[in-house]
Structure 1
Amino acid sequence: MIRVLVLLLVLFCAGLSVDAAEVLQVRSSQLLQVGDHNRTYTVQLTCVDVAAPDEARAVSWLREQLPRRRRVNLRPAGSVDGQLLARVTPIGDELDLSSGLVAAGLASDRCASGLS
């Protein structure tokens, strides 16, 4: 009986929603403005390098993937000049945006060459 109650409690708690960061704006091919009910901050996508000729297409691709208020998971990788450097994955997707830009042919992967 106790095991059943514990199992039900675990299943109930697992179903509770957790507030994730929400995308407020795609600022460039590598910068996002996100918020989490308490604050807003800039997040730089990690491991991508977008060439100047591909900038507009990369921004357009990101805006398709990230409509305003789309919830995302952030996996921090550090910071650069006060900006959070992170892998960003839209809730419900498995592919992070950095890998998506590379797969779409709009960016190169800096981490594959050992750079971050």
Structure 2
Amino acid sequence: MRRLSVIRQLLFALLVLLIGVSPLSAAEVLQVRTPSLLQVGDRNRTYTVSLPCIAVPENSKGEAVEWLRQQLPRRQRVNLRPVGSSDGQLVARVIPIGSEIDLSSGLIAAGLASDSCSGETA
């Protein structure tokens, strides 16, 4: 009887290992395209994400892209908090894993963008 119990436990452990629960995968940044557009991917697809509520002056665009690239090295995992869509693109707050501040707020705080949604809740 004891032997049957051990075999049952081993089979159960093997079943758990084979089925296993795959870890949740966050989106990964693949490319910073512009100060407000990111190429993001997960295991199944890639898509463009637009950062909400920012207006970047023409003379700050290069510096804003460089700031984003420092915050988002390739394959940086991020959380996306969708706020809508525009022209078929996802508009979302993008928060690097381990950070509390979304990138739109970061660009504004760095003085590289202004809040284009002032007065709105985002």
Q: 1:21 aligns with which of 5, 20, 27?
A: 27
Return the alpha-carbon distance in structure 1 between the equivalents of residues 26 and 58 of structure 2. 31
CA-to-aligned-CA distance 1:65-91 (integer Å, 9 cap, x gap): 000000000000100000000000000
Contact 1:57–1:106, Cα closer than 8 Å, also in 2: yes
Q: Number of residues paired by the alignment?
A: 101
Q: Which residue of 2 aligns with 1:34?
A: 40
Offset, 1:18? 1.9
Matched residue SS, 2:98? coil
Name which of 59, 70, 73 aligns with 2:76.
70
The residue type paired with residue 84 of structure 1 is L
Which residue of structure 2 aligns with residue 59 of structure 1? 65
Match of 2:94 in 1: 88
CA distance in 2, matches of 1:52, 1:115: 26
> Which consecutive aligned stretches of 4+ in structure 1 deviate over 6 angstroms post-superposition?
none
Say if 1:29 and 1:62, in contact at 8 Å, map to a contact too: yes
Distance in 2, Cα, partners of 1:34 & 1:21? 6
1-structure distance, mates of 2:46, 2:28: 9
* 8 A contact 1:47–1:115 mirrored in 2: no
Aligned Cα root-mean-square deviation (Å): 1.6
- Give the drift of 1:17: 4.2
User: Does 2:77 align with 1:102?
Assistant: no
Structure 1 gaps of 5+ residues are 1-15
Q: Percent identity?
A: 65
| Change in 2 beyond 3 A, CA 1:115/1:107 | farther
Q: State which structure, 1 or 2, has the greater radius of gyration over its C-alpha atoms.
A: 2
